[in-house]
């Protein structure tokens, strides 16, 4: 084999006809290589990269669906487990009762059932004749202040109800003779769907019998509040002959001041606080919004009407000024008065490690908001949110605020939420410093149930607080369930609900306060 053939066979440059390499061919080959290097990548490679990225996105979406399905299945399994444990515990208690009961006990139970049926029939007959419940659109005193739990001693219960002042809530409108409103929300007539006209947007409280007992709650560690409390207690007792309840701390301060205040009543333990709503007709708070929150937290169920006096630095729920407390209280005790029904949230914590319903925590009642945040952790929160078992979003940021409309001017407003009229029935869904600029706050209807779950792949724990108190840790797998509580907080208005709300945001926040634009230009003829 010749050298020329060997070189060509090795893939080198082709030789010339005389057996020597051509310099022109070598130069053209180098130029071709340089042009090939400078060319952009092959279009087919870009297409493959695009297809690969789309495939990765599809896989990510599938993994997200799997995660959501797993969380939903875990929640459903936990709910079935809770129901099973509850049913088994109930059956075991029934078996114990059946085995322990003799023939005499069975006859006694039958006799009690007959007596209870007769008592219910008498109550039904009285309710038909009761004038307080004659209006379908009114809320009566026993509906607001009776928690529906039967008392073992019926005579004692009736005495308690007789001591309570009865009242009626109704819609009213200034300038109209009737204080009723049309009950229908939507009407259908002659093929046209229209919303019903309402004669009023305000709520009026009318005393059917005068109030007898007043609870006074004060802001601690304030000399001016203490002096005002002394004067108010004396005035209510001497001028109105009312029964006065105060906190144990306040009673000690009153007795230290003078033995004249021996008539003041208080409670001994938490069990007395649970039945306090059956004794108190009216609550007077001396302080700011924090004192109103404290008053609402004392009553887990029904709440008597609250008259909040402003003695704090900033208040959106305290329309009354303490300088004129005699005029205000005299008018309120006579009635009628405008009130604002402030809705509350009812919260439960469902632990992943809980073996039964009794190991879960709750209910916790809040008037302002529930806050879930990352605490001292350096990692972002990772919270899966569901609304009536429908997936809402995954919160990544500093946390989440679930607020009432009364709490819309509190933490939710500072986090970017909207200000909402307190009588609007809704739940505010406000993120705290979210990791996405498109994550905007929501306002959800009041009938939904919200569930916030810490997923198992979360990098850290979360922390939850209720009206800024009772801070608790949420581990991966734990869930927080929130819904609207059945018992609102009725607060008295100085004028009406809307006027007080607008005045509070003008005076408290200086809302839209700016210097008036000067009119230096030519004026229209």
Give CB contacts under 8 A, 24+ apart, made by 249-258: 249/220, 250/216, 250/218, 253/226, 253/229, 254/229, 254/230, 257/230
Lookup result for tokens 């908001």: 369
Rounded distance between C-alpha atoms, residue 269 and residue 18, angstroms: 118
Rounded distance between C-alpha atoms, residue 525 and residue 509, angstroms: 38
Active-site choice (179, 281, 289, 478): 289
Quick check: helix, strand or coil at residue 381? strand
Q: Is 418 exposed, middle or buried (0-12, 13-18, 19+ CB in 10 A)?
A: middle
Number of CB atoms found within 10 A of residue 230's CB: 17
Q: Are 214 and 330 in contact (CB under 8 A)?
A: no
Which secondary structure element, helix H or strand E, spans residue 445, and what is its range?
Answer: strand 442-445
Rounded distance between C-alpha atoms, residue 287 and residue 317, angstroms: 10
Quick check: helix, strand or coil at residue 348? strand
Cis previous bond, 363, omega within 30: yes
Of 451, 440, 523, residue with least CA distance to 480? 451
Number of CB atoms found within 10 A of residue 350's CB: 22
Instruction: Check the CA dihedral 428-343-494-175 and report its sign.
Output: positive
Q: How many CA atoms lie within 13 A of 2 on its CB side?
A: 6
Which secondary structure element, helix H or strand E, spans residue 226, and what is its range?
Answer: helix 223-240
Rounded distance between C-alpha atoms, residue 478 and residue 169, angstroms: 40
Q: Tell me the DSSP string of 285-319.
A: EEESHHHHHHHHHH-SS----EEEEE-SSS-SS--
| CB contact burial 247-256 (16+ within 10 A = b; e otherwise) | beebbebbee
Rounded distance between C-alpha atoms, residue 336 and residue 202, angstroms: 12
Task: Reply yes or no on whether 289 is catalytic.
Answer: yes
- 3-state secondary structure string, 470-502? EEEEECCCCEEEEEECCCCEEEECCCCHHHHHH
Instruction: Write out the catalytic residue numbers.
Output: 289
């Amino acid at each position: 084999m010749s050298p020329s053939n060997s070189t060509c066979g090795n893939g080198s440059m082709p030789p010339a006809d005389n057996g020597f390499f051509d310099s022109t061919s070598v130069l053209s080959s180098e130029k071709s290589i340089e042009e090939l290097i400078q060319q952009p990548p092959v279009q087919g490679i870009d297409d493959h990269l695009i297809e690969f990225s789309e495939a990765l996105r599809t896989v990510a979406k599938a993994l997200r669906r799997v995660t959501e399905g797993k969380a939903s299945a875990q929640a459903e399994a936990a709910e079935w487990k809770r129901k099973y444990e509850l049913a088994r515990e109930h059956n075991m208690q029934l078996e114990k009762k059946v085995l322990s009961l003799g023939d005499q006990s069975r006859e006694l139970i039958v006799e009690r059932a007959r007596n209870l049926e007769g008592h219910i029939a008498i109550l039904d007959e009285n309710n038909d004749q009761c004038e307080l419940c004659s209006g379908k659109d009114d809320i009566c005193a026993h509906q607001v202040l009776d928690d529906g739990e039967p008392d073992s001693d019926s005579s004692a219960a009736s005495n308690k109800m007789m001591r309570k002042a009865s009242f009626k809530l109704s819609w009213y409108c200034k300038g109209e003779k009737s204080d009723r409103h049309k009950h229908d929300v939507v009407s259908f007539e002659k093929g046209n769907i229209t919303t019903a006209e309402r004669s009023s947007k305000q709520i009026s409280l009318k005393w059917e019998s005068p109030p007898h007992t007043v609870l006074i709650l004060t802001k601690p560690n304030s000399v001016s509040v203490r002096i005002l409390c002394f004067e108010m207690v004396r005035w209510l007792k001497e001028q109105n002959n009312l029964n006065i309840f105060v906190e144990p701390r306040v009673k000690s301060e009153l007795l230290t001041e003078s033995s004249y205040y021996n008539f003041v009543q208080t409670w001994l333990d938490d069990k007395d606080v649970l039945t306090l709503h059956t004794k108190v007709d009216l609550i007077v708070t001396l302080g700011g919004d924090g004192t109103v929150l404290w008053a609402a937290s004392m009553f887990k169920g029904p709440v008597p009407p609250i008259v909040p006096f402003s003695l704090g630095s900033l208040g959106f729920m305290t329309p009354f000024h303490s300088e004129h407390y005699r005029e205000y209280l005299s008018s309120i005790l006579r009635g009628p008065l405008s009130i604002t029904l402030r809705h509350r949230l009812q919260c439960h914590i469902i632990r992943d490690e809980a073996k039964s319903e009794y190991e879960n925590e709750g209910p916790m009642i809040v008037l302002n908001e529930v806050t879930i945040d990352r605490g001292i952790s350096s990692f972002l929160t990772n919270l899966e949110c569901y609304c009536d078992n429908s997936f809402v979003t995954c919160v990544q940021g500093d946390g989440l605020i679930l607020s009432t409309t009364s709490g819309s001017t509190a933490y939710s407003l500072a986090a970017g939420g909207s200000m909402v009229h307190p009588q609007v029935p809704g739940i505010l869904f406000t993120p705290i410093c979210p990791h996405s600029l498109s994550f905007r706050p929501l306002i959800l209807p009041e009938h939904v149930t919200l569930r916030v779950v810490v997923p198992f792949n979360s990098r850290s724990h979360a922390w939850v607080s209720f009206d800024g108190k009772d801070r608790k840790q949420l581990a991966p797998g734990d869930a927080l369930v929130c819904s609207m509580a059945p018992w609102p907080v009725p607060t008295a208005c100085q004028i009406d609900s809307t006027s007080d709300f607008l005045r509070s945001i003008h005076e408290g926040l200086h809302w839209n306060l700016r210097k008036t634009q000067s009119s230096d230009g030519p004026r229209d003829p």
